[in-house]
Amino acid sequence: MAEFPPPSWSDYELLDSGAGEKLERFGAYVLARPEPKALWDKSLPEAEWRRLAHTTFTPGAGFGKAGKEDSGTWNRLRKMDDQWWIRYANVDGLKMDLRLGLTSFKHVGVFPEQAPNWDYIYRQTRALAAKGGTPRVLNLFAYTGAASLAAKAAGADVTHLDSVRQVVTWARGNMEHSGLDGIRWVVEDAMKFARREARRGKRYDGIILDPPAYGHGPDGEKWKLDECLFDMLRSVGEILAPQDAFLVLNLYSNGYSALLGETVLRQAMRVGTVESGELALNDPFGKALPLSIVVRMTR
């Protein structure tokens, strides 16, 4: 299974990919940045990339090496804002505003390939809300919060957790700009939080996880995906409601497959209906760029 953002999303477009880069339009601005998975040749000539791009990204010497990262540099070719907004809207009625900005690690505050997950979270949460009551949704490793907004827009009581205070503040701004409110913000280590919620007997009707390959909690807690994922999922299994519930696991780590993600999930907790696959982007030249794997479960 491979899923792509909807063609109707007018504020995002992958214009080309290849030679370890991708050329993307986010609203009014076009960005060229590294993409190791773009193993093929570019379809557009290099001169066209530079003509279209407002900015390019030059990685630092340690870029992409866990524990040795240093920041890269954005090289502006044309005038553009430091921060700007795009809107995501789908056919089911989800609408949310997302602020973008140029960070030193090439990210811009949104991962467009995640759009199918936003749609899934919105649909699942609406279906739970239609049964009565207010679904409780927990978003772990939540970054700037697009998945949190999708759940909130569908009627959920949302807890948004990330270990980096700055991105939680970023997510709060996205919520306010989208005309939403009431999300619970938590700056904490995800494993500590899940274990404490389990001890308290808390349950969530939806849980979203997008763990990084490496990371640190706010108090220096170390996270390494290979060592922590199974225990993380076991802890999550203790706080996921036994029925009328969903889970979304997203993984970007190189070397992981959808089948591996599904197997880890099945071994870590009691499962219901499980599906797995890849999230990808399409460029206009017929090249599919797979970027993450996703495992989804419903009970």
pLDDT in tens, 264-285: 999 999 999 999 999 999 999 9
**φ, ψ dihedrals at 128, nearest 5°:** -65, -40
| pLDDT tops 80 at residue 3 | yes
**φ, ψ dihedrals at 220, nearest 5°:** 85, 5
DSSP letters spanning 34-73: E-TT--S--SS-HHHHHHH-SEEEE--TTTT-TT-----E
Domains of the chain: 6-86 (2.60.40.1180), 110-298 (3.40.50.150)
pLDDT in tens, 223-259: 889 899 999 999 999 999 999 999 999 999 878 999 9
The pLDDT > 70 percentage for the chain reads: 97
Q: How many CB atoms lie within 10 A of CB 102?
A: 22
Considering only CA atoms, give the Rg of the chain. Answer: 19
pLDDT score of 64: 54
Write down the pTM of the prediction: 0.94
Compute the mean pLDDT over every residue in the chain, rounded to the nearest whole number.
Answer: 94
Give the residue among 63, 70, 77 at the shortest CA–CA distance from 32.
Answer: 77
**φ, ψ dihedrals at 191, nearest 5°:** -65, -45
